[in-house]
Amino acid sequence: MANERPFERLLVTGGAGFIGSCYVRDVLGRRDGTRITVLDKLTYAGNEANLAPVRADPEMAARLTFVHGDIADADAVRPLVDAVDAVVNFAAETHVDRSILEPEAFLATGVIGVHVLLDACRAATGHPRFVQVSTDEVYGSVPEGHAREEAPLAPRSPYAAAKAAGELLVRSYVITHVVDAVVTRGANTYGPYHHPEKLIPLFITNAIDDLPLPLYGDGLQHRDWLYVSDHAAAVDHVLRHGIAGETYNVVGGAERANREVVTALLERLGKPWSLVREVEDRPGHDRRYAMDGAKLASLGWRAATTFEDGLAATVDWFVANEAWWRATKAGDWDGWYERQYGRRLANGRAAARDGV
Q: Which is nearer to ligand TYD, 120 or 199 (CB)?
A: 199
Q: Decide if residue 216 touches ligand TYD (CB under 6 A).
A: yes
Q: Decide if residue 25 touches ligand TYD (CB under 6 A).
A: no
SS3 at position 288: strand
Active site residues: 136-137, 159
First to last CA, the chain: 45
Task: Please state the length of the chain.
Answer: 356
Q: Decide if residue 135 touches ligand NAD (CB under 6 A).
A: yes
**Which of ligand NAD, ligand TYD, none lies near 113, with the C-beta cut-off 5 to 8 A by kind?**
ligand NAD
What is the CB-side half-sphere exposure of residue 46 using CA atoms within 13 A?
21
Rounded to the nearest 10 degrees, how much is the dihedral formed by the CA atoms of 106, 107, 112, 115? 80
Across-strand partners of 37?
11, 65
Across-strand partners of 132?
89, 183
Specify whether the CB–CB gap between 63 and 36 falls below 8 A: yes
> Minimal distance in Å, beta carbon 155 to ligand TYD?
12
SS3 at position 181: strand
Q: Which of residues 233-272 bind ligand TYD (CB under 6 A)?
A: 258
Residues 6+ apart with CB under 8 A from 131: 86, 87, 88, 89, 181, 182, 183, 184, 235, 238, 239, 242
Q: Decide if residue 16 touches ligand NAD (CB under 6 A).
A: yes
Q: Which is nearer to ligand NAD, 18 or 301 (CB)?
A: 18
Choices 34-42, 282-290, 301-309, 348-356 (CB under 6 A): range interacting with ligand NAD: 34-42
**Which of ligand TYD, ligand NAD, none lies near 186, with the C-beta cut-off 5 to 8 A by kind?**
ligand NAD
Q: Decide if residue 174 touches ligand TYD (CB under 6 A).
A: no
**Which of ligand TYD, ligand NAD, none lies near 199, with the C-beta cut-off 5 to 8 A by kind?**
ligand TYD
Mask: binding to ligand TYD, 87-106, rule CB under 6 A, as x and -? Answer: ---------x----------
> Minimal distance in Å, beta carbon 275 to ligand NAD?
23
Q: Which is nearer to ligand NAD, 94 or 229 (CB)?
A: 94
CA neighbor of 250 nearest in space, from 211, 217, 290, 222: 290
Q: Under the rule (CB under 6 A), what is the footprint of ligand TYD?
A: 96, 188, 198-199, 202, 214-216, 221, 223, 258, 282
